[in-house]
A and B are shown apart, each in its own frame.
Chain A
Amino acid sequence: MTMDMSRYLGLFISEASEHLEALSRDLVQLEREGSSSAVDSMFRHAHSVKGMASSMGFEPIAILAHRVEDLVDAVRQDRSRLDRDLVDLLLSSADALLAQVRAVADNKEPAEATALLQQLSARVTTITGHAPATTRVARVTVLKPAATTDAAAEPPANPEPAAAAKAPEASAPAPDETTRPPGAKSAPADPRPGSSAGGLTSGAGAEAGAAAREPRPAESLAHDVAARPAPGLELSGGLQAAAGGALASKPEGEARAPLQRWAVQLRIAPTCQVPGVRAFLVHKRLTTLGTLLDLRPALEELKAGRIPDGYIQVELETSVGDTGIHSALRNVAEVEVVSVKAAVAAPAPAPPAAAAPDSARASAEAGGSRTVRVRTELLDYFLDTVGELMLATARLREVGKVLPENARPELEEGVYRLHTLVKDLHDKVMSARMTPLSLITDRLPRAARDLARRKEREVDLVITGAEIELDRAILDELADPLLHLLRNCIDHGLEAPEERLAAKKGSRGRVLVAVRRARDRVIVEIEDDGRGMDPAKLKAAAVTRGLLAPEAAARLTDREAFLLSCLPGVSTAKDVTDISGRGVGMDAVKRVVESVGGTLEIDSERGRGTRFTLRLPLTVAVVHLLLVEVGDEVFGLPIAKVVGATEADGETLSRSRETALLPHGNGLLPVHALDALLGVPAPVRRGLRPFVVMDGDSGKVALAVDRLLGQEEVVLKPLSRPLDLLPGLSGVTILGSGRPVFILDVPRLLSA
């Protein structure tokens, strides 16, 4: 029976990734604080990944994790071994392991990290004085056939052909059908002295077991129990005694055999992977039976696994008789009793058994509430379905309005009940989706360390409030923007140490990531104490690139000017390093934050530092909309971006070139006709019409619409392909009337 490992693949990927991320986290913490708990937990993480990877047959991952485990173990024994280079090496290894796990997730073979392995092995060898041990990996094929697995590292003693592992045998042995290696055949009543070792080479291994499967003699179990020897404690008897092993057993009844010497020959199955431990277990069992007079090989040799051909000779003085010896070893796997022969008897009392049990008090309460893992897609599906339920309920209510008066109360009561239930379900689904921000902030210390090291800056990163929870969908979106903001702080915000000292600051820069709840919003602030941003330079850069008219630039407040850094191509940094140059830019940060219904603000003071403030909704699903009509169509504008609404006669507005300008506050706002912007046919309007004032990327804008329909709280549905390819739409919803309505992303609409 070969297990189908592929069904563990998902769990392997998620759990191994978690372990590896935690490993990196522990490393950074260890380097910073030198806490010993971090080393222990690092060891556990590496060890777990090794175990899982080897079970899955992912040899490159298992080997790499094994090397990491070796190194961490060495550090565990002597903390002084941990230097920066070692931390770098371990971090790179954790990264490489993560990459391997991701490759597996993409159904690719994990790459061999040859160079890293060499470095790791070299470190292990210099530290421990011996070469690292080999890694054992299960022979399984998990990935789909396109990528062939060659991760077969079965122990050489096992001649199993690869084909056996590839042909999964679905039928597990039925419970009553037991595996029985030939060695165990000798019944208790039949010591069979001198029975030959013929046919035993197949051993107690599973392959042999399958061949030797046969019905168990009905009487043998009962016999075992009755004849169970050994001094010591009273047992509850029955099956439990049989299950209890020889450790705590006792002769039952009066039939105590006289003390007698026995020469026992045993053989550890050649398929046994750890003969030393096996032999030790046998030794332990035999010592509970009586006095061990002779043992060959000696105990130390046994423990070290130095057992020629697996044969062990024991001379034992006991009162349990040969049947007792057989039954004591009967339930030890991978051991075969070759012979039990009477030796010279000697009258000596049996030694007392192990100490009596104390009523043990288990120390502490473990674990807490029960949790299960749910795939994110499943959570998305729940939310989607609950959203549809809400819409269906709203629809029912609408339908009810046209029913005759007398038929309504019953329906309305039902709809009300349904509404309450669905709302409650929605709340539960939402809370199931809530995930602490630490899921993404936990990666920041590692990133900060790497960035700082590359830029030769010194950085203290302080994170507060990471336990605050947000919708998983928002968190997933936020991971990259947050990393970019951190990068921005370290790369552009913080000065070099000498520059800081010249400015009478400490040489170490400080980046603070503070998370807090404010009513229905989560506020994330990322703040550095660096050089700050220059609004004049930002304005100049935007004008130079033709993104902004000089007059418009002049009108911008400093705060608005800082947001210019979010326009593509505007940046005050003189140098473009590989650090700032890769990944998402500030424009992407802003877009992502707004796409989840949040806002981005930037505050900065020259010489003092910069603060990015993200105001995020707790959930993505429900948004407040201002509904507007354009021609025959209805669109939703996110209230979060709406500054206000006003009425004016479009014909009388002043114009700058082609663009109409709407007076607003002390200034003039550019006007965009929403019908033209969206390509919606609408009749030409004369006279007064409504305008909606909204926040755009480079200042406020006014949208000319035909009618304001009012506000509504709606359940946002993400756009599915191909609609997601259209710029300027951020989602869709269905109104109570059943009408689908698109939600507009005005800044992208204007820029596209």
Chain B
Amino acid sequence: MAKRVLVVDDAIFMRNMIKDIFASGGFEVVGEAANGLEAVEKFKEFKPDLTTMDIVMPFKSGIEATREIIKQDSSAVVIMCSALGQESLVMEAIEAGASDFIVKPFRAEDVLAVVKKVLGEV
């Protein structure tokens, strides 16, 4: 069964790109969220196998959202979507419970490699 993914990013552009990457890797994107608040809600709703989380977002940052998601479900797999220059933020997110991270600009194979590794599919 295809792994279920929640995609969180405030840019539709990024969400679409990530969704396409997951689709190409045989994943099922079950939901998407445009900010941290929505991310926590959608996580509760969908209980995804994996969540990709942008860091800089309106209303609630990806780090806060990750912290809340991990609080809800400590086994949640949250992958941070980061850019170069956000190293300290990513470390903060790892402290908050993020499982791994990917670095923008994304390349499909890099993203899938990280995700599959995290999900123990390699």
Residues of A within 8 A of B (CB): 1-3, 8, 11-12, 15-16, 19, 41, 43-44, 47-48, 50-52, 54-55, 57, 133, 135-138, 172-176, 178-181, 184, 204-206, 209-210, 216, 221, 224, 233, 235-236, 239-245, 247-248, 273-274, 276-277, 280-281, 284, 303, 305, 330-334, 354, 357-360, 362-367, 373
With A172-B25, A174-B26 in contact, is A362–B11 under 8 Å at CB? Answer: no
A-chain residues with CB within 8 Å of residue B43 when the two chains form the complex: 362
A-chain residues with CB within 8 Å of residue B121 when the two chains form the complex: 178, 216, 221
Expressed in whole angstroms, the Cα–Cα distance for A204 and B122 within the complex equals 11
Residues of B within 8 A of A (CB): 2-3, 10-14, 16-17, 20-21, 24-27, 33-35, 37-44, 49-50, 56-60, 68-77, 82-85, 87, 90-91, 94-95, 97, 99-101, 103-110, 112-114, 116-122
Across the interface, name the chain B residue whose C-beta is closest to A155.
B84
B-chain residues with CB within 8 Å of residue A241 when the two chains form the complex: 75
CB pair A216–B25 under 8 Å, yes or no, is: no
With A51-B11, A284-B94 in contact, is A8–B118 under 8 Å at CB? Answer: no
CB pair B91–A209 under 8 Å, yes or no, is: no
CB pair B105–A248 under 8 Å, yes or no, is: no
30 A-B interface contacts by CB (under 8 A): A1-B24, A3-B17, A52-B11, A54-B83, A55-B14, A55-B105, A175-B2, A206-B109, A206-B110, A216-B121, A221-B120, A224-B120, A235-B75, A242-B119, A243-B120, A245-B99, A245-B118, A247-B74, A273-B84, A280-B91, A280-B94, A284-B94, A303-B87, A332-B117, A358-B71, A360-B69, A364-B59, A367-B35, A367-B38, A373-B12
B-chain residues with CB within 8 Å of residue A359 when the two chains form the complex: 72
How distant is A677 from chain B, measured CB to nearest CB, in Å?
Answer: 51
Q: Is the interface of A mostly helix, strand, loop or mixed?
A: loop
Choose one: B60, B82, B99, B113; the contact of A204 (CB below 8 Å): B113
B-chain residues with CB within 8 Å of residue A43 when the two chains form the complex: 56
CB pair B105–A51 under 8 Å, yes or no, is: yes
Choose one: B57, B82, B110, B120; the contact of A242 (CB below 8 Å): B120
Expressed in whole angstroms, the Cα–Cα distance for A51 and B97 within the complex equals 24
Expressed in whole angstroms, the Cα–Cα distance for A670 and B63 within the complex equals 74
With A221-B120, A331-B119 in contact, is A48–B11 under 8 Å at CB? Answer: yes
CB pair B56–A367 under 8 Å, yes or no, is: no
Expressed in whole angstroms, the Cα–Cα distance for A284 and B9 within the complex equals 25
Choose one: B17, B49, B59, B104; the contact of A8 (CB below 8 Å): B17
Most A C-beta atoms less than 10 A away, residue of B20, B37, B91: B91
CB pair A136–B122 under 8 Å, yes or no, is: no
With A3-B17, A366-B33 in contact, is A360–B68 under 8 Å at CB? Answer: yes
Expressed in whole angstroms, the Cα–Cα distance for A359 and B37 within the complex equals 16
CB pair A133–B97 under 8 Å, yes or no, is: no
CB pair A172–B40 under 8 Å, yes or no, is: no
Choose one: A8, A216, A333; the contact of B13 (CB below 8 Å): A8
Across the interface, name the chain B residue whose C-beta is closest to A62.
B105
Expressed in whole angstroms, the Cα–Cα distance for A41 and B57 within the complex equals 9
Expressed in whole angstroms, the Cα–Cα distance for A354 and B74 within the complex equals 10
Across the interface, name the chain B residue whose C-beta is closest to A278.
B101
Known pairs A178-B122, A243-B3; list 15 more (Cβ under 8 Å).
Answer: A1-B109, A11-B16, A136-B84, A138-B107, A173-B26, A175-B26, A179-B122, A184-B117, A241-B75, A247-B70, A281-B101, A331-B119, A360-B69, A362-B37, A364-B37
How distant is A701 from chain B, measured CB to nearest CB, in Å?
Answer: 51
With A332-B117, A362-B40 in contact, is A54–B90 under 8 Å at CB? Answer: no
How distant is B41 from chain A, measured CB to nearest CB, in Å?
Answer: 5
A-chain residues with CB within 8 Å of residue B75 when the two chains form the complex: 235-236, 240-241, 243-245, 248
B-chain residues with CB within 8 Å of residue A274 when the two chains form the complex: 82, 84, 87, 90, 101, 103
With A3-B21, A362-B44 in contact, is A303–B113 under 8 Å at CB? Answer: no
Expressed in whole angstroms, the Cα–Cα distance for A146 and B57 within the complex equals 37
A-chain residues with CB within 8 Å of residue B106 when the two chains form the complex: 55, 138
CB pair B58–A44 under 8 Å, yes or no, is: yes
A-chain residues with CB within 8 Å of residue B24 when the two chains form the complex: 1, 3, 172
B-chain residues with CB within 8 Å of residue A176 when the two chains form the complex: 26
B-chain residues with CB within 8 Å of residue A363 when the two chains form the complex: 37, 40, 60, 68
How distant is B59 from chain A, measured CB to nearest CB, in Å?
Answer: 7
B-chain residues with CB within 8 Å of residue A181 when the two chains form the complex: 113, 122
B-chain residues with CB within 8 Å of residue A303 when the two chains form the complex: 87, 91
CB pair A366–B38 under 8 Å, yes or no, is: yes
CB pair B41–A366 under 8 Å, yes or no, is: yes
CB pair A209–B26 under 8 Å, yes or no, is: no
Expressed in whole angstroms, the Cα–Cα distance for A147 and B73 within the complex equals 49
B-chain residues with CB within 8 Å of residue A235 when the two chains form the complex: 75
With A206-B113, A281-B94, A357-B72 in contact, is A11–B120 under 8 Å at CB? Answer: no
How distant is B32 from chain A, measured CB to nearest CB, in Å?
Answer: 10
CB pair B56–A138 under 8 Å, yes or no, is: no
How distant is B109 from chain A, measured CB to nearest CB, in Å?
Answer: 3
B-chain residues with CB within 8 Å of residue A366 when the two chains form the complex: 33-35, 37-42, 59
B-chain residues with CB within 8 Å of residue A360 when the two chains form the complex: 40, 68-69, 71-72
CB pair A54–B87 under 8 Å, yes or no, is: no
Expressed in whole angstroms, the Cα–Cα distance for A138 and B25 within the complex equals 20
CB pair B11–A173 under 8 Å, yes or no, is: no
Most A C-beta atoms less than 10 A away, residue of B13, B39, B69: B13
B-chain residues with CB within 8 Å of residue A373 when the two chains form the complex: 12
B-chain residues with CB within 8 Å of residue A205 when the two chains form the complex: 110, 113
Expressed in whole angstroms, the Cα–Cα distance for A216 and B122 within the complex equals 7
Across the interface, name the chain B residue whose C-beta is closest to A69.
B85
Across the interface, name the chain B residue whose C-beta is closest to A368.
B38
B-chain residues with CB within 8 Å of residue A44 when the two chains form the complex: 10, 56-58
CB pair A15–B87 under 8 Å, yes or no, is: no
CB pair B49–A243 under 8 Å, yes or no, is: yes
Expressed in whole angstroms, the Cα–Cα distance for A358 and B12 within the complex equals 32
Expressed in whole angstroms, the Cα–Cα distance for A377 and B25 within the complex equals 33
How distant is A134 from chain B, measured CB to nearest CB, in Å?
Answer: 8
Across the interface, name the chain B residue whose C-beta is closest to A235.
B75
CB pair A277–B107 under 8 Å, yes or no, is: no
B-chain residues with CB within 8 Å of residue A174 when the two chains form the complex: 26
